[in-house]
Amino acid sequence: MSFQDELNELFLTEEQIPTDFKLVEEVNQRAYLSNGEMLPWNGDVHTVLSPICIKTANGLQRKVIGTYPLCDKEEANAALDAAVNAYDNGRGEWPTMSVAQRIERVEKFTHEIIEKKQEVVKLIMWEIGKTFADSTKEFDRTIEYIQATIDALKDLDRQSAGFTIEQGIIAQIRRSPLGVVLCMGPFNYPLNETFTTLIPALIMGNTILFKPPKHGTLLFYPLLAAFKNCFPKGVVNTIYGRGNKIIPGLMESGKINVLTLIGSSKVANELKKMHPKVNRLRAILGLDAKNAAIITAKADLKLAVQETVLGSLSFNGQRCTALKIIFVHRSLADEFLAQLSEAVSKLKFGMPWVNGVALTPLPEPHKPAYLKECLEDAIAKGAKIVNENGGATNESFVFPAIVYPVNAQMKLYTEEQFGPVVPVVPFDDLEETITYLIESTHGQQVSIFSNDEDEIASLIDPLVNQVSRVNINCQCQRGPDVFPFTGRKDSAEGTLSVVDALRSFSIRSLVATKLNDSNKHLLNEIIDSHSSNFLSTKYLF
Ligand code: G3H
């Protein structure tokens, strides 16, 4: 079959979808979790359209997956009140509960959501077009993250179980919650990245207001019962609706203590400014990125090509860590482009349930048009699409385009394309690549490809001060999840990792007294009677 035929035949009729992957029925969500109850919703709803189109007598139509509530300010404010009341100025059941009890609740929650795996994985696939294999990986990685978080908290708690004596003062130092956390995740890892902030925030004793991402919303519906069953009322509350309608009021209330968002820096900045007491707001943010690959004249070209394909096109380039601009030494450029084009031509494209498929339809409705605009802009300014079929589009599907030579005048030089376009820039002097990173508004990661130790060393020192992770001879990535995940400039605020997230969503508090006999007696009495959850030497195993 020719490429064009394959592209035309990409989408199937309803009958052609394999039974195991069919959505048996639409998910019409008419309830949301607020203040410990699944509240019924009879108002407006949003219709969720899949990136996967269905071949019909009237042409291609995005599959309707279901609907979810479009709540308004009133419901959002009620959810905020529920979270504020559950926190109760730090006196609520959840923030004062022992770490062991909180862990127990999160373990129960984990068991309950594992039961929902099949449903959730299928919804991830249908809502954002992620391959079935990667949707499954996303679910499993999330469970592993929760388990690792529990272990890390036990460690942290063990370290805090003792007392510190300094200059005649004895103190017990622990980490305490911050208050109400507004949590919003991204569409590309709707479950995983949301839970990498929500779970640490929750387990540290904060109360949560959680707004699911715009794409990747319904997949949380099967999990709401577990939140309801496992945590005291008001500890986890959901808000559904248009972000620009419901979020400003929440921020302006001044009652949000932590804003955690994986998304755009523009939105994060606007939201932060709405808070009336900026010093009371902590922000843990994973934002835009434009990670570069630097392929020097001394690189192993085959390896650089392999990693560029993975780095720039896994999940169609829709990863914040994706390689979004490739600098290649001019002496290798032709060969690199030839090998890269060949590798891209071998990528299997199709429906996300197909075994071995790498490229799938895109969930953001405007994305194909935006990518086209980027390609046209680059072509008008002197670049070419160098790979066969690059940029070919059928509705929500766009075949990857390798664009060369990209220069500073083009959108693709600075804008985060977040899609299947690979801009390649030739360079003569490594200094040009360092200058790019210095001038960039982003500062997440970089990948260097070279086999020369002196050359790598000469890049490491300037680059670690531009970005937060320098990858050598491999693509950029967030994992392993125990590694710190952060960024400089407009790419992040705060640090996430299994351990760092626990610190990010808490503050150290200590109980201190002068070390004399009567205080020793007092402390011993409190510890022996287990009357305080904070002042305690209980050791968590
Ligand atoms: O979208 C950004 C994700 O954090 C990337 O994670 O590098 O594991 O794909 P990943």
Considering the domain architecture, whether residues 418 and 344 belong to the same structural domain is answered as: yes
Considering the domain architecture, whether residues 306 and 446 belong to the same structural domain is answered as: yes
Pocket test for ligand 1, best of 189, 261, 312, 316 (most atoms within 8 A of CB): 189
Containing structural domain, residue 81: 72-286
Residue 492 has a pLDDT of 98
pLDDT class for 541, splitting at 50, 70, 90? confident
> Is the pLDDT confidence value at 370 over 90?
yes
> Is the pLDDT confidence value at 362 over 90?
yes
pLDDT class for 24, splitting at 50, 70, 90? confident
> Is the pLDDT confidence value at 186 over 90?
yes
Q: How many domains does the chain have?
A: 2
Q: How far is the centre of ligand 1, averaged over its atoms, from the C-alpha of 214 (Å)? A: 18
Could you tell me whether strands 45-56 and 59-69 are parallel, antiparallel, or unpaired per DSSP bridges? antiparallel
Tokens at residue 523, please?
A: 């402390």
Protein residues whose CB sits closer than 6 Å to any atom of ligand 1: 188-189, 193, 319-321, 477-479
Q: State which amino acid sits at residue 407.
A: N
Considering the domain architecture, whether residues 99 and 187 belong to the same structural domain is answered as: yes
- Mean of pLDDT values over 438-467: 98
* The domain boundary residue, chosen from 466, 486, 506: 486
Considering the domain architecture, whether residues 208 and 345 belong to the same structural domain is answered as: no
User: Which region, left, alpha or beta, applies to residue 328 given φ > 0 means left and ψ of -120 to 50 means alpha?
Assistant: beta
Helices (H) and strands (E) counted in the chain, each on its own, are 18, 25
Residue 387 has a pLDDT of 98
Q: To the nearest whole number, what is the mean pLDDT of the chain?
A: 97
Q: How far is the centre of ligand 1, averaged over its atoms, from the C-alpha of 129 (Å)? A: 16
Could you tell me whether strands 488-489 and 180-184 are parallel, antiparallel, or unpaired per DSSP bridges? unpaired
- Mean of pLDDT values over 118-140: 98
Per-residue pLDDT reduced to its tens digit, 290-326: 999 999 999 999 999 999 999 999 999 999 999 999 9
- Give the number of C-alpha atoms closer than 13 A to the C-alpha of residue 412, restricted to the C-beta side: 35
Residue 396 has a pLDDT of 98
Considering the domain architecture, whether residues 211 and 336 belong to the same structural domain is answered as: no
Considering the domain architecture, whether residues 363 and 262 belong to the same structural domain is answered as: no
Pocket test for ligand 1, best of 193, 416, 471 (most atoms within 8 A of CB): 193
Residue 1 has a pLDDT of 86
Considering the domain architecture, whether residues 273 and 301 belong to the same structural domain is answered as: no
Considering the domain architecture, whether residues 275 and 296 belong to the same structural domain is answered as: no
CA 83, 283, 292, 497 dihedral sign is negative
Structural element, H or E, at residue 431: helix 430-439
Considering the domain architecture, whether residues 390 and 270 belong to the same structural domain is answered as: no
User: Which region, left, alpha or beta, applies to residue 148 given φ > 0 means left and ψ of -120 to 50 means alpha?
Assistant: alpha
> Is the pLDDT confidence value at 56 over 90?
yes
- Mean of pLDDT values over 204-214: 97
Q: What percent of the chain has pLDDT over 90?
A: 99
The answer, as to whether pTM is greater than 0.75, is: yes
Per-residue pLDDT reduced to its tens digit, 342-358: 999 999 999 999 999 99
Tokens at residue 138, please?
A: 């996303």
Considering the domain architecture, whether residues 282 and 296 belong to the same structural domain is answered as: no
Per-residue pLDDT reduced to its tens digit, 238-258: 999 999 999 999 999 999 999
For the domain that residue 274 is a member of, what is the CATH number?
Answer: 3.40.605.10
Q: How far is the centre of ligand 1, averaged over its atoms, from the C-alpha of 322 (Å)? A: 8
Q: How far is the centre of ligand 1, averaged over its atoms, from the C-alpha of 44 (Å)? A: 33
Residues in the chain: 541
Per-residue pLDDT reduced to its tens digit, 72-115: 999 999 999 999 999 999 999 999 999 999 999 999 999 999 99
Residue 204 has a pLDDT of 98
